[in-house]
């Protein structure tokens, strides 16, 4: 019995993980991964889509990494780079005119999209003796805590809870991975509004995919300048 021939080896590329600056090799995704992505995106299930993106990254990255520790902006950037080498570097998006509100189709070069990491202090001093060490939450946190219809306040609380990596007191450094979740929630509940605002400002600084785009509205000819932010803007 004849056997089917082996196809040519898939090409290899490199990308740099934004949060760690680790350079890793990757391959384009294959039909088997594209099937998973299409089913997830067609389902309109946001959690399923997020899981499919991570599954694709896991399959295509050729080096050893822990995908559960990747940040949101890591996953979005890595998936964008893998997609650009799999189905093409251009993505068709609809851009809304700021003058007339109509949509103009446009093509974006997703391979050129970057993530800028802000230079901010991850340590927040709450009192004279208490300092909080912050970190950006992993994408897995959003998957594990995803709930349809979650309120903005509950979502913010969830993110902040997962962004506190340690608490430094005058006597000791407390790693939050060793603290029960209930105790963490009680600690956050005890913050005053100004202290909570400091933590919220750190969350707002979280990097994202971003690209400034200029376009002419095909309806009213108004010259527009807009900024695409987050993976949804690049594949709308």
* 38 lies in the same domain as 105: yes
126 neighbors 132 (Cβ within 8 angstroms): yes
* 98 lies in the same domain as 156: no
* 163 lies in the same domain as 215: no
* 20 lies in the same domain as 109: yes
Residue 197 lies in a domain: yes
Residue 152 sits in which domain range?
123-204
Residue 3 lies in a domain: no
* 188 lies in the same domain as 130: yes
Nearest to 87 by CA among 67, 110, 71: 110
Model pLDDT, residue 81? 95
* 41 lies in the same domain as 85: yes
* 96 lies in the same domain as 128: no
Residue 181 lies in a domain: yes
Residue 158 lies in a domain: yes
Residue 54 lies in a domain: yes
Model pLDDT, residue 44? 85
* 48 lies in the same domain as 136: no
DSSP SS3 for 22: coil
Structurally, the chain folds into a number of domains equal to 2
- The CB density around residue 39, as the number of other CB atoms within 10 Å, is 13
* 32 lies in the same domain as 101: yes
Model pLDDT, residue 69? 92
Residue 5 lies in a domain: no
* 198 lies in the same domain as 215: no
DSSP bridge pairs for 201: none
70 neighbors 79 (Cβ within 8 angstroms): no
DSSP SS3 for 7: coil
Residue 151 lies in a domain: yes
Q: Along the chain (236 residues), what's the average pLDDT of each consecutive run of 10 residues?
A: 75 94 95 93 89 95 94 95 92 94 93 86 94 93 77 82 94 94 93 93 89 94 94 82
Contacts of 230 (CB under 8 A, 6+ apart): 76, 208, 209
């Amino acid at each position: 019995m004849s056997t089917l021939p082996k196809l040519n080896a898939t090409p290899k590329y490199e990308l740099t993980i934004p949060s760690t600056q680790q350079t890793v090799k990757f391959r384009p995704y294959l039909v088997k991964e594209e099937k998973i992505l299409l089913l997830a995106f067609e389902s309109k299930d946001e959690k399923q889509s997020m899981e499919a993106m991570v599954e694709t990254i896991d399959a295509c990255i050729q080096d050893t990494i822990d995908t559960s520790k990747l940040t949101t902006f890591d996953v979005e950037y890595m998936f964008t780079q893998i997609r650009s080498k799999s189905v093409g570097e251009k993505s068709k998006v609809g851009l809304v005119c700021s003058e007339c509100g109509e949509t103009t189709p446009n093509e974006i070069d997703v391979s050129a999209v970057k993530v800028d990491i802000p230079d901010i202090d991850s340590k927040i001093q709450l009192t004279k003796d208490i300092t909080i060490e912050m970190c950006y939450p992993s994408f897995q946190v959003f998957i594990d805590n995803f709930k349809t219809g979650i309120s903005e306040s509950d979502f913010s609380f969830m993110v902040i809870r997962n962004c506190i990596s340690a608490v430094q007191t005058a006597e000791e450094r407390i790693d939050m991975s060793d603290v029960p979740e209930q105790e963490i929630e009680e600690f956050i509940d005890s913050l005053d509004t100004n202290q909570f605002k400091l933590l919220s400002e750190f969350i707002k600084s979280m990097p994202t995919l971003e690209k400034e785009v200029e376009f002419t509205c095909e309806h009213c000819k108004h010259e527009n300048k807009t900024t695409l932010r987050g993976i949804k803007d690049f594949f709308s």
